[in-house]
Each structure stands twice: as C-alpha cells, then as structure tokens.
Structure 1
Amino acid sequence: MAESLERLQFAEAIDFYKGKIRLPSSGWTDIWQQQHSHAFVVAGAAQDALVEDFYNAIRQAKDSGLGYPAFRKQFDEIVAKHGWAYNGTPGWRSKVMYRTNVKQAYHAGRYQQMEAVKHLRPYWRYRHTTFENPRLEHKSWDGKILPADSPWWNTHYPQNAWGCNCKVDSLSRVEAKREWEKLGKTGPDEEPEVEWEERVVGKNGSAPRTVRVPKGIDPGFAYNPGKAWLEPHTVPPLEGYDAVLKERGAAWPTGFTPPAMPKPTRVPASVMLPAGTAPEVAVADFLDVFGASMSEGAAFTDAAGSTLAITKALFQDGNGEFKWLAKPRKAGRLEHINLLAMALIEPDEIWWGWVKDHKEPGRWRLKRRYLRAYQVVDNGEYAVGVFEWGSSGWTGSTVFMASQEAEAAREAYFDNQRMGRLVYSK
C-alpha cells in the first residue's frame, strides 16, 4: 500500500505540491505546522539551489509515477553536486524526505476531494494501517466515525507523525449507519479526548523552543494539511520570513484583497546617472551601495528575510562576460540603476513566483521580484522600478510615465508587475 501511495498521481495532490514556495531553512521546525502546506523546506538546506533541486526531484518522481526509487537515485546526485552535509544515512534521510512530502500531498488532495462531496458523504472514518510498530494512540482512533466538520479533524487529520500511514475515509449517511449497526451504535462516535503535552523542538538546526501538541501526535503534525492549503488566511506568518502566504497560483484566493497601491517615493532627477555613464562605473556604484566592489562581494538580507549575494556576477552572463557587451542596449538601462538598488533595499512589495526553466524542461526556478513606485520631483513623472532576482542573475527595468498620465493608468501598470505570491508589503 505504501508503494502504491507513493506512485499515486491525482490532480489535487499534485496541485498542493506545485503550489508550495521553496524556502531555505536551518531546520524542519523553522516553519510550523500549517505553514508546511504552503512552503517546501528541507531541514538543514540553506541554499536556494539545493532546495530547488530537491523540490524538482520529488516532483519529477511524483509526476512520472516512478516513485521513491527515482528520487533515491537523484538524492545521491544532488548531495554530491552541492556537497551537502546532513544528519542520518542516505537511505533513511531520502526516504523520510520523499515519503513525508508525498503523503502530505496525498492527504491534502484527499481532503479537498472529500470537502467537495461533504454534502453527500458527511462522515469521516479514521483508519489506522500501520501493523509494524503501531502507535497505540493512533490504533485507539482506528474506526472512529465523526462528522466531517468535527473540530477533532483540525489536529488529528493524517499524517500525524513521522512515518504515520493512517488515512481517512469519507462515508455516506447510509454507509455510516451500516457501520454503526455492526457495532451496536446509533450515531457518530464521541470525539476522542485530546490530552495536550509540552515538547521541545528545534534541537537540530533552529533555536530550541517548547511547543504544545496533542499526545500521540509528533510535533509539527498537529494540523490538517488540506485545510491549511485551502484556507491560507488561517496560516500564521512564516517565522523568519515576515510573510503570510496570501496567494496560490495565478489568481487571488477567495476573500483576499491585494494591497492598496503604494504611495510613490519622491526622488530628485539627480538620482539617475547621467546619460552615457560608463557601464563599469554604474555597476561599481550599485555594488558600493551594498558594501561590495568589483573584486569583493557582500551578503544582503532583504525585507522578507532572504539573504542574497551581491557581486559583479549579477551583471555577467553564464560565460562571465558583462551583459552589455553582448547586448549593448542593456547598457542604457544602467542609467536607472540607483532606482533598482532602492527597490531592492526598501521595496514597496516583494513577490515570489516559480517559473518553468526553459533551458531544463521539467524544472522550476524561483524568481524574486522587488517593486517600488517613484515620482520624480523635478517633472512629476511617475516611475516603477522592478528588480527581479533569479538563479541566472538579475533583470531590472524602470518604466517612466508622464506627469499627465491618469492615476488609473499608473495603478494598472504597477498592478501588472505583481506576480506569484506576495511575501512582503511595506
């Protein structure tokens, strides 16, 4: 059964996994419970590229139906590629990583399916399916039939622990009545009593802290992954990233209103570099703002808590050549490089989106987009600075609109620059 689940493909489970933001982390508990329904982390994987590779490997194994064996092979390749040091043996670590992600995607997808037919199948039954080394608490819940809207499912919907194989079935009124008659009952079971206990988490990576969890459920699993996915506003802010995931996919979620248009930052025309400024000078000015130089880089932590490497490599292509040498028209954009630096340092908004990698079909890459609106004091022009950061470097643009341009047109242009998920708003 475990292997068939690992290979199982259905749209809701795949959508759940696809909708996650990938976050570097020091430990699995850096984010907590419901936040895992919106974020993909690998304990101890602190680099974007490493997290990207693991995410893509799991997704490819799932999408292809090849399952864990395909991921196990890629796990070793990824570890060797990045020189990643991790806890545990390769077989144990890869199996935990793969099966936990696949099972949570499965359970989240099943929850969405059962919610959709709840009016026809209003009862849910807990099923304990671990026969080797069963958890006694989980075994005591086996066969319990409760209304689908019972609060108990908020904390006890599987997966309820590392390696937990428990499931939930949905039942029609007729099916539920038949089960009750077999057991000499006349209606649903009483909700099992929840006994809470304190546990310490974060010993391996993030700072240790004490959390309160129901007895029988491992720390970090006392939540309903599907409900957290479908109700993003119930998810607390991502610790260390200053963000609540407000948006999934291309459309705003139900009930979410995008932030109001930011008030433009007033800047003098002198903040722009003179026309004809040598590209090397413009780049040196940009790097200097972040404490970097042409010969030495610097680390910069943005408003959402992500650390970026600021080096001259931002302005180079894959061959190490400066981008303006291959495409001279790019050099003209450097006149506005100070506005791009300001957008990165103090953005109005930061958006994260995952886009298909055109160079490597089947892979996805993280894009971070920094937006800031400006108004030039000297002539009243409105401008939007867009600084986009990705694994292949940066792209930047600043678009100016004449002072007589209608307010609605300005707002529409800024709104069109929003993409993916909002992770920071000033």
Structure 2
Amino acid sequence: MPVSAGFDVKFIEAIAYALNRNVVLPDEYYDRMTPIQRQQAVSIAGLGQTEQIKHVMGLVNDQLDSGGTFADFQKAVKDGDIDVNLPQHRLDNIFRTNIQGAYGRGRWYQQQQNKAERPYLMRDGINDSRQRPEHRELDGIIRPIDDPFWQTHTAPDAFRCRCVMRSLTKEQAEAKGITTDINLPDVEPQNGFGGTPAQYTNRMTKLINDKIAELAITYYKQSDAILAARQRIEAAITVMLAQPIPELAVLIDEAKELLEEQGDDA
C-alpha cells in the first residue's frame, strides 16, 4: 500500500492502534480468543515463537509509520536478525491485512470525532473481479455512524479486504439513500473482523488515547511538518487524550512554544 511522502502519512490514530495490540501465539488467538479480543491482539499462523511474531509485526508497524511499501517490508524481513520462514504470499497477506486494519481503525477514531457534522457511514468497496461476493453485497450500505450494524460489518473485515468506511453528512446520506433494515444483506461476519473500537475494553481505549497523544507531540515538534499539521495535531491532543497527565501537559506546552517561535521567525 504505497503512501505519498509528507506529514499526512503520519496517521497517528492508525499507528496508535497498531502499537497497542497484544502479541499472542496462534493457538491462543485462533482457538481461545473471542472476536472482540482478537481485535485487540495480533498473531501470525505458522510462527511458534512470540519473538518471531513481535519481530514481523514490528516491521509492519515501521512501514505504517514511514509510509513504506510491501517491498520495503519484505526486504526488512529478509534482512532481519530473526529467522522468519514465510513465503511471499503469506508476507503479503500479513502486511496488507494489518496495514488496512490499522488504517480502518484509525479512520474510525477520526470519524467519531466528527460525527456531529457527519453522522452517517457508507461502506465503499472496489468493484472489480477480486472483490468477494459477500463484500459486493455490503457495498454502498449507509447507516448511522453508531448503528449496531457496524459492530459486525465495519470494513476492513477480512484478510486483505480493501473496503473502507466513508463518513457522510445527513444531506449526503439522504441523497444517496439510507439503507433500511429490510434491505440489509444477511452476510455473516468473519471471526475476528468487522467490529469497531467501541467494543474494546476501557484499558485498550486508554492505551490508544495515550499513544495518540504521545505520537501527536512527537510529530508536532518536527520542525519541517509543524505548520501543515497544526490543526490536526491540536485536535488529536484535545479530543483523543482522555486524561492528560502532567508529563504530557508539559510536552504539549513545549510543542506549542516551538510552533510560536517558528511562526515569529517566518
């Protein structure tokens, strides 16, 4: 999933979600965890050691942070110190599923911030020969952003799923046509996919919120990106950080002072 260079690739909500999932062994993930628990965890079938999974997922997260491609990820796995004997198609699945999943969860956090102005979601897929038949049925569905339907059918909701969720204003939703209850397709959700962060435990939500704040401060203080990022970072700090702690408050003040100094020098 190539991403253009620049500050906008620093998708702090997506990165925060990715960094806070628990790494577990495949037997626990596939045999004992509930669908909601799976959304708060990550595993890789075929890898029997926790360190191997952490290594691979760390490389995925590096590419998420830098905007790297699958080729960058594949090279990093090959050059890494930990042996990971996975074929290319498995690595491709791991990379794309986890990148798309993190972006999807990141979008959800952003959409929740803006739901007063854009209170509807539309599921939008890529209608080509690779699209799953069940995802074609779900394509174009429009429901309120907090509708229970999205607790099981939020995209991406399968391995390598390319569907996304788009937020709409009330006027846009009505113009396109809000999906009625009787017109909702009977598509079974996949285990471990399709949920939203609203179902997470309070602990998981707080971890993500704290990480968003830390990442926001880091990017805020990058001199080459401050001006372009100001509104987004301030919104992330204000809205997503549930309970500021003194150390973070100090860093926020320092970052704002840095911005003001740069503004005076411009």
CA contact (8 A) 1:125 1:143 kept: yes
CA distance in 2, matches of 1:23, 1:77: 24
CA contact (8 A) 2:23 2:43 kept: yes
- 1:248 aligns with 207
Name the CA shift for 1:164/1:249 in 2 (closer, same or farther; >3 Å). Answer: closer
- 2:14 aligns with 13
Identify, as 1 or 2, the structure richer in strand: 1
Deviations 1:301-338 (A, max 9, x none): xxxxxxxxxxxxxxxxxxxxxxxxxxxxxxxxxxxxxx
CA contact (8 A) 1:26 1:46 kept: no
From 133, 146, 150, give the equivalent of 1:149: 146
Name the CA shift for 1:8/1:29 in 2 (closer, same or farther; >3 Å). Answer: farther
Cα deviation for residue 40 of structure 1 reads 2.5
Deviations 1:65-106 (A, max 9, x none): 12211111122344xx544455xxx21010111111111100
Cα deviation for residue 159 of structure 1 reads 1.2
From 227, 235, 250, give the equivalent of 2:198: 227
Q: Does 1:102 align with 2:99?
A: yes
What are structure 1's unaligned runs of at least 5 residues? Answer: 181-187, 196-213, 234-243, 252-426
**What is the root-mean-square deviation of aligned Cα atoms in Å?**
2.8
From 113, 117, 122, give the equivalent of 2:114: 117
What amino acid is aligned across from residue 232 of structure 1 in structure 2? Answer: T
Cα deviation for residue 18 of structure 1 reads 1.4
What amino acid is aligned across from residue 207 of structure 2 in structure 1? Answer: R
What are structure 2's unaligned runs of at least 5 residues? Answer: 211-266
Cα deviation for residue 29 of structure 1 reads 1.5
| TM-score of the superposed pair, with normalisation by structure 2 | 0.67
CA distance in 1, matches of 2:209, 2:169: 35
- 1:159 aligns with 156
CA distance in 2, matches of 1:177, 1:99: 33
Cα deviation for residue 107 of structure 1 reads 0.6
From 179, 186, 203, give the equivalent of 1:189: 179
CA distance in 1, matches of 2:129, 2:111: 28
Name the CA shift for 1:32/1:67 in 2 (closer, same or farther; >3 Å). Answer: farther
SS in 2 for 1:248: helix
Deviations 1:31-62 (A, max 9, x none): 34222332222223232321221122111112
| TM-score of the superposed pair, with normalisation by structure 1 | 0.43
Name the CA shift for 1:133/1:169 in 2 (closer, same or farther; >3 Å). Answer: same
SS in 2 for 1:124: strand
Name the CA shift for 1:77/1:25 in 2 (closer, same or farther; >3 Å). Answer: farther
SS in 1 for 2:121: strand
CA distance in 1, matches of 2:209, 2:125: 37
SS in 1 for 2:193: coil
CA contact (8 A) 1:68 1:95 kept: yes
Count of residue pairs the alignment pairs up: 205
Deviations 1:226-281 (A, max 9, x none): 334xx315xxxxxxxxxx86862696xxxxxxxxxxxxxxxxxxxxxxxxxxxxxx
Identify, as 1 or 2, the structure richer in helix: 2
What does 1:2-401 align with in structure 2 at a 5 Å threshold? Answer: 2-4=1-3, 8-26=9-27, 28-30=29-31, 31-78=33-80, 81-86=81-86, 90-180=87-177, 188-191=178-181, 192-193=183-184, 195=186, 214-215=187-188, 217-224=189-196, 226-228=197-199, 231-233=200-202, 248=207
What amino acid is aligned across from residue 78 of structure 2 in structure 1? Answer: D
CA contact (8 A) 1:27 1:44 kept: no
Cα deviation for residue 143 of structure 1 reads 1.7
Percent sequence identity is: 24
CA contact (8 A) 2:55 2:82 kept: no
Name the CA shift for 1:249/1:13 in 2 (closer, same or farther; >3 Å). Answer: closer
CA distance in 2, matches of 1:112, 1:171: 15
CA distance in 1, matches of 2:131, 2:193: 17
Cα deviation for residue 129 of structure 1 reads 1.1
Deviations 1:209-237 (A, max 9, x none): xxxxx53x43332423x334xx315xxxx
Deviations 1:189-220 (A, max 9, x none): 1134464xxxxxxxxxxxxxxxxxx53x4333
Largest Rg, 1 or 2:
1
Cα deviation for residue 141 of structure 1 reads 2.2
Cα deviation for residue 121 of structure 1 reads 0.6
